[in-house]
């Protein structure tokens, strides 16, 4: 289901690829009416990105499908005077403008923050960029990998031999998108009280640093420079990834009682009183010895066995899964995180994951609202699919629209 928490909120999504469209998608899932304003020709670059060349050729690349359901799409040439006039009218009738251009691009097109709030004093303008709208790095281009490296995230990912290592998902883009969606929602709450709009400057670099939490605070507060420790948790032991008879298994026995329970369940209660492991700090100092002792036992049974045993004992643990196993798991299925949508024109696409009627599986929101899963109920839009409808709603005639099309405005 699609939530109604943001019902009535109208969003202009000018963003491309990931961070901005992801933010717009979260707003759409919560009930906002999100209109993608795309460039003529190719539209959002994500339409051409993804592992399926067939889908990319149809301007429905997997990267685009992933975060653009529940939106509408129009094309508009913001460099033309007529296009600017149309956009002014859209700003007048919408609540949010969302973009992830480089700082200053929208202003150079004639729509600075001052101009936007003159058009609509209650507008919420959210600009997502790699480094923010101010500072010495504001004009630098940035992709997720660049931000991962410059935030220090890569320096603490991997181990002493493999670090620095990129996190295997575009985490900086995604965290930046979540930060933007949260800030927009917060700004709308204030506007509901005061009628005042807001200018939101979201930095992917700062969002990533903030998401690192205690890892960053270890340096800020404790003066300790975090180091890459692979799958180990520097705050506790045993807390990391262990080898079983058939795979890898995570255990996080971070509390003293959890460690003692783990020793009991594994049939080695003597480890709980061993001077090397009896207390948190001694366990951390001797984590390799402790890992060897525990793995010697874990290797005697498969991960499924230890999953049942540790779960029954209340010890945090779980198998290390691949993406397919995680998405198809009973837990995720029961929670309804994945939705199935039919997309016109995809019948016959040579891709094993697309159903015979052009159906695809897409992620919804990581939140249940009023006891129900929140997911997309309408498919991602075709490029410019709703252009005519939007212009008609603004009062343009079919003749006007045809003129716009012939003159390259849409």
Give the active site residues: 173
DSSP-derived 3-state class of residue 351: coil
Residue 36 near residue 73, CB atoms below 8 Å: yes
**In 94-213, which residue ranges form alpha helices assigned H by DSSP?**
105-108, 113-119, 144-150, 171-194, 204-211
- Buried (b) or exposed (e) across 270-303, using 16+ Cβ within 10 A? ebeebeebeeeeebbebbeebbebbeebbeeeeb
Cα–Cα distance measured from residue 210 to residue 178, given in angstroms and rounded to the nearest whole number = 12
Task: State the Cα–Cα distance between residues 287 and 230, nearest whole angstrom.
Answer: 13
Measured CA to CA, the distance from residue 212 to residue 171 in angstroms comes to 11
- In 3D space, the residue among 285, 294, 288 whose CA is nearest the CA of residue 264 turns out to be 294
* Residue 311: strand, helix, or coil: helix
Count of residues in the chain: 410
Say how far apart CA 163 and CA 192 lie, in whole Å: 47
Tokens of 164: 């620095």
Return d(Cα 28, Cα 165) in angstroms, integer: 33
Helix (H) / strand (E) containing 139: none
Sign of CA dihedral 126, 128, 131, 137: negative
What gap in Å lies between CA 396 and CA 89, rounded to an integer? 11
């Amino acid at each position: 289901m699609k939530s109604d928490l943001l019902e009535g909120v109208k969003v202009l999504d000018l963003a491309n690829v990931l961070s901005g469209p992801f933010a717009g998608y979260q707003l759409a899932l919560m009930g906002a009416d999100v209109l993608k304003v795309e460039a003529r020709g190719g539209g959002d670059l994500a339409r051409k990105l993804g592992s399926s060349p067939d889908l990319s050729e149809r301007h429905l690349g997997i990267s685009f499908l992933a975060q653009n359901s529940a939106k509408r799409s129009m094309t508009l040439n913001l460099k033309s005077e007529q296009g600017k006039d149309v956009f002014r009218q859209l700003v007048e009738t919408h609540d949010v403008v969302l973009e992830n251009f480089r700082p200053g691009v929208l202003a150079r097109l004639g729509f600075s923050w001052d101009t936007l709030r003159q058009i609509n004093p209650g507008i919420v303008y959210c600009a997502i960029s790699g480094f923010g709208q101010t500072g010495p790095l504001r004009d630098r281009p940035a992709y997720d990998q660049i931000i991962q490296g410059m935030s220090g995230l890569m320096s603490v990912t991997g181990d002493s031999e493999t670090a620095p290592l990129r996190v295997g998902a575009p985490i900086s883009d995604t965290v930046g998108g979540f930060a933007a969606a949260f800030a927009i929602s917060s700004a709308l709450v204030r506007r509901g009280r005061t009628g005042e709009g807001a200018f939101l400057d979201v930095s992917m670099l700062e969002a990533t640093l903030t998401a690192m939490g205690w890892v960053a605070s270890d340096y800020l507060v404790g003066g300790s420079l975090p180091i890459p420790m692979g799958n180990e948790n520097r705050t506790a032991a045993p807390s990391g990834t262990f080898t079983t008879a058939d795979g890898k298994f995570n255990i996080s026995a971070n509390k003293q009682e959890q460690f003692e329970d783990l020793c009991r369940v594994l049939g080695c209660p003597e480890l709980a009183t061993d001077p090397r492991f009896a207390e948190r700090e001694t366990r951390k100092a001797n984590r390799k010895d402790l890992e060897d002792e525990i793995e010697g036992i874990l290797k005697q049974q498969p991960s499924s066995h230890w999953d049942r045993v540790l779960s029954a004992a209340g010890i945090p643990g779980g198998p290390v899964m691949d993406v397919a196993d995680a998405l198809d798991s009973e837990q995720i299925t029961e929670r309804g995180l994945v939705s199935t949508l039919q997309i016109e024109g995809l019948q016959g696409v040579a891709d094993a994951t697309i159903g015979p009627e052009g159906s695809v599986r897409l992620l919804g929101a990581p939140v249940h609202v009023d006891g129900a899963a929140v997911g997309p109920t309408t498919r991602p839009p075709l490029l410019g699919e709703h252009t005519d409808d939007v212009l008609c709603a603004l009062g343009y005639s079919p003749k006007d629209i045809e003129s716009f099309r012939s003159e390259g405005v849409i």
